[in-house]
Structure 1
Amino acid sequence: MSDMTNGSVSAEAGIGSSAAQADASSAKAPAAVPSAAPGQPLTYDELLADRDKWQREAEQFQTAKETSIEEAREKGRRAALGELRAELVGNELRLQAHAANAEIPDPEYLNLAQFTGEDGKPDVETIREFVDSCPKRRAHFPPLGGAQVNSNGPGGTFNPVSLDTRNR
């Protein structure tokens, strides 16, 4: 079925025979592909070896590309988290302080690095412990004025007639 001339395979080669040759050539590690003399076609084994070499290089390139993409993503995450770390910790401090009704010092004067975990994110447990150690706020009630709430100010008189009735 296949014509072999000078070690090269013609286009009439059968599928079964090329699959057997491909399995045989992939079982052994191909050496460097010798280049054929100018004007001479490559043999079937040389073509398979060349194809395998290019497939391996393409796989290595794809793996390297994926690795570099993941490294760039991780670097971007770290940079963004680094820029927002102080804001995230400050927000978490204010949130915990409000929930516990505690007075905390201005986050500008705190060492916010002590409130971050190893991953760079706010450490909620450390922040909660700090907020619990802060003094609690005292309740602040506005002065209500007692019975004078409905009056027209101090010393004013209360007119029970509505403005609607008075303006007629």
Structure 2
Amino acid sequence: MTTPNEPVATPPATEPVIPPVVEPPAPVAPSTLEEALALLEAEKQNSSKWQALSKKNEDNFKSASKERDTLKSSVMTDAEKAIEAARTEGRTSALSEVGMDLVNAEMVIQAATAGVNLPDTQYLNMATFLGEDGRPNKDAVKTFVESLPKAQAFAPLQGAGAQTGGAPKMDSMDPSELADFIADGSYL
């Protein structure tokens, strides 16, 4: 037993053991076209596997979220349900006020990215581009923008600005030099 004045022995501090970093072996470059194609196909299959797994996880998350929301709403009191309904209504009304502006902004962004000119939006039913949540439906906007014709690129104007090629350079406006220049046929 220790007395209050005796120092308490502490165990010696040990440094945490950090395992060495093991680098994966460097990939070997394929030496033939067949090996490269086989490697590419294997990577495509690996990518498809991870995409399918991601989609499955996303579906699981959505179903778990729906189940959570159902359980949450079944446990709510009437006052909590009224508050949640008011929040939902407020969110919906706010998005309906700015929804058309968001759709218009999304259209401008996608049209600029695709290099097309948008028609006047007063002739479009912008509500068709709103999603169920009041936000822009990016897929519908993208489909519409892709259906528009590409903007035409005009050829550069000839004769506008300084020209770099063509006639030889004249240094002087002396009449005798001009006559010699014209007589040699290099000007006409």
TM-score range, shorter chain: 0.3 to 0.5
Q: Which has the larger radius of gyration?
A: 1
TM-score of the aligned structures, taking structure 1 as reference length: 0.46
TM-score, with normalisation over the residues of structure 2? 0.42
